[in-house]
Amino acid sequence: MTAFSAFDHAMMRRALALAERGLYTTTPNPRVGCVVTREERVLAEAWHERAGGPHAEAAALAGIDAGGATVYVNLEPCNHHGRTPPCVQALIDAKVRRVVAAMRDPNRQAAGGGEALRAAGIEFQHGLFAEEARELNIGFVSRVTRGRPWVRLKVAATLDGRTALPNGRSQWITGVEARSDGHRWRARACAVLTGIGTVRADDPQLTVREVDTPRQPLRVIVDSRLETPRGARILQGERVLVFAARQGELPNAEVVALSNASGKVDLPRMLEALAGRGVNELHVEAGFRLNGSLVREGCVDEFLVYLNASMLGDGAEGMFDLAAPAGLDQRLRLRLSSVERLGDDLRLLARPA
């Protein structure tokens, strides 16, 4: 196993921090940061800011003498020519001595950078903070390896698991801090998805408003029968993508028909279609029926749950439309990733165990 020094650890942490600056902007590309050093002195650093712009390595190498340098990057340098030249060649041309990557590139088109560097006589190592690097780009990894986005389902509920009044009203169950936090998760997603039930009940805009962001995620509606009201706020502004079970039209929307045997939207095929459009992370804010359908069909990778210190009682809507299991051993088990207090709310992040 490769031994990394304390300086290696510090520089990879810095590369990860730089990569995180592209949290809202790099889609569909991965978030990448790069630090160039020589004799434990930082020569330059950069991050990939947006798709089509310079990759982190190229930006860091620009205008400096990197001969004999060590380069730290959270993702293996790409080895293909896309919208920009391959980073591997830039590193070879710069005559760097060593490259340390947190993780290998899961994208088959861009992989092989480590081998190309070694063939050019450059030392290549990887595995330092690999899990942290994977988490930062979990949507990109999901898209290029599974052909579907990483699906994060957000729910705001009371302590008794209720998400809305019997009439469907749900604004606002949680407090200001939780709502702002939810907008940060929206902002990092490539697309935000809801269902026709939520459109009817809440008339949401589904935009990022509580945090500064240079772009708005794609807005997506699951509407089998194309019942979205023509005056719905979600149809205002940037064009919306609607998945339906039949062909049709809605104003300011692209309608894609993907029907299953039950005459509803084929959700797994919908995820494949979104991946084909470069969607890495899909953020879901829907009602209990669509939530339940996504869970039943194995479409949810992560649950983002906000619990408010209140109760709504019987008759109010629940989180998921799911049938009770025959026994406790058959219930859907989740693994908690984190628990954080936000004002009078708790934020839970959990994944299927």
Neighbours of 151 (CB within 10 A): 24
33 in Cβ contact with 55 (< 8 Å): no
Query: Residues with Cβ < 8 Å from 293, sequence gap 6 or more?
Result: 264, 267, 321
Q: 57 an active-site residue? A: yes
| Count of other CB atoms within 10 angstroms of residue 32 | 32
Angle at 238 between CA 236 and CA 243, to 5 degrees: 85
Which is nearest to 40 in space by CA: 72, 78, 62, 16? 72
Which residues are bridge partners to 259 per DSSP? 265
* Buried-exposed string 205-230: b where 16+ CB fall within 10 A, e elsewhere: ebbbeeeebeebbbbbbbbbebebee
Q: Which of 40, 45, 49, 57 is catalytic?
A: 57
Q: In the sheet where 281-284 sits, what is the strand order?
A: 253-257, 240-244, 218-222, 191-195, 281-284, 150-158, 302-308, 345-352, 334-342
Q: Which residue has the tokens 């480590």?
A: 114
Q: Indicate the DSSP class of residue 333.
A: P
Give all strands (DSSP E) within the chain, no chain letters: 33-38, 41-47, 70-75, 98-103, 123-126, 150-158, 162-164, 191-195, 218-222, 240-244, 253-257, 281-284, 302-308, 317-318, 334-342, 345-352
Catalytic residues: 57
